[in-house]
Amino acid sequence: VGSRFTLAVPDDYLLRRDYCSYGYFLLEPNLWHIPSQTLRRVLDLDGGPARLTVAQPGGGSVSGRLAARGTPLRAVADRVLSRREVVQARLLLTRMLRLDEPAETIREFHRVDPRWKRSGRGRLMRSPTFFEDVIKTVTSCNVTWPSTVVMNRRLCGVVGRGGAFPTPHRLARARTATLRARCRVGYRDRRISDLARLFASGAVDPEWFEDPATPDEALWDALIALPGIGPYAAANIMQLLGRYHRLPLDSESIRHGKAILGMTGSDRQIMKRMHEHFAPFGRHAFRSYWFELWEFYESRKGPSWTWERETTGTSFTAAVLNTR
């Protein structure tokens, strides 16, 4: 029997809705277990990898009830964790689930964009570490979703310890040829390797990037300077850091602008109009943009907490793209 611990959450927090809120929830080592409506994931802790299951009591129903909101989360590990490891696991889960984002911030978002007040959407999941967010973003650039799924599966299976996401040190030690041949990252091999070395050596200090006091512009410049990080990736990492002012616009945004918002013109013009369209939402712009996209996906695939990781990898983008 493994260790158990609880996690307090903000009063609006609903695990299935707030965890299944961004595509990374479908990427390994993350797994949303649909029958039990629980989050399962391996964390690489001080004493080695541990498989955690996180549930929200009362949140297991797939119906639309919001009764479980604010109920503390229960985490169970598959082995005994030291006190230090429990602290570590709490910090990682808190970052991933954004449990330290106050309910008041979400209420403010709903005042700015009332469309999401009813569902309560507003929180976005991310990775337990800044490093994983950066690498996952690189694996999502210039590929279709199924390739991103494969890259993350292989990185965890080939390089990560016990199926966990690789640490900077482990990834820095992996040969680029291994990343290319076995992890299927293609030409990203060198960039991923370089990023891992920057983190492992301390040249990139996650604390500086995570610090709310770091100015937006300085953050942007530092991100753009990283290998494999261009304007889209930098803007996406900014939102993962909780800075929602900038929109990471990609080919999906163009599709959305044309199909849903009825925009016309060249791709370049649509990009510009998208930025203008969401600018009034200010520091919540990305949330407004993202939940519009998410609502479109859910209109085709049902609620995100019913999406199968294994089939979504191949069918998801195809189904969405067929609407063009």
Partner DNA sequence: GGTAGACCTGGACGC
Partner DNA sequence: GCGTCCAGGTCTACC
How is residue 316 written in tokens? Answer: 């998801």
142 binds DNA (CB under 7 A): yes
- 3-state helix, strand, coil split of the chain in percent (to 5) is 55, 10, 35
- If binding is defined by CB under 7 A, does position 314 make contact with DNA? yes
**Which residue number, 121 or 191, has a Cβ lying nearer to DNA?**
191
Member of 78, 210, 252, 298 binding DNA (CB under 7 A): 252
From the list 80, 181, 218, 260, which residue makes contact with DNA (rule: CB under 7 A)? 181
Task: Please report whether residue 311 would count as binding DNA according to CB under 7 A.
Answer: no
CA angle 159, 16, 261 (to 5 degrees): 95
Stretch that binds DNA, among 31-39, 87-95, 107-115, 223-231 (CB under 7 A): 223-231
**309 part of the interface to DNA, by CB under 7 A:** no
Q: Does 23 bind DNA (CB under 7 A)?
A: no
Cis upstream peptide for 29 (omega within 30°): yes
Q: Of the candidates 16, 69, 136, 191, which one interacts with DNA according to CB under 7 A?
A: 191
Q: Contact region for DNA (CB under 7 A) — 10-18, 178-186, 204-212, 298-306? A: 178-186
Stretch that binds DNA, among 61-69, 85-93, 115-123, 145-153 (CB under 7 A): 145-153
For residue 141, give the amino acid letter.
C
Interaction of residue 269 with DNA, rule CB under 7 A:
no
- 3-state SS class at 262: coil
Long-range contacts from 250-259, C-beta under 8 angstroms, 24+ separation: 252/293, 253/289, 255/321, 255/324, 256/292, 256/293, 256/296, 259/323, 259/324
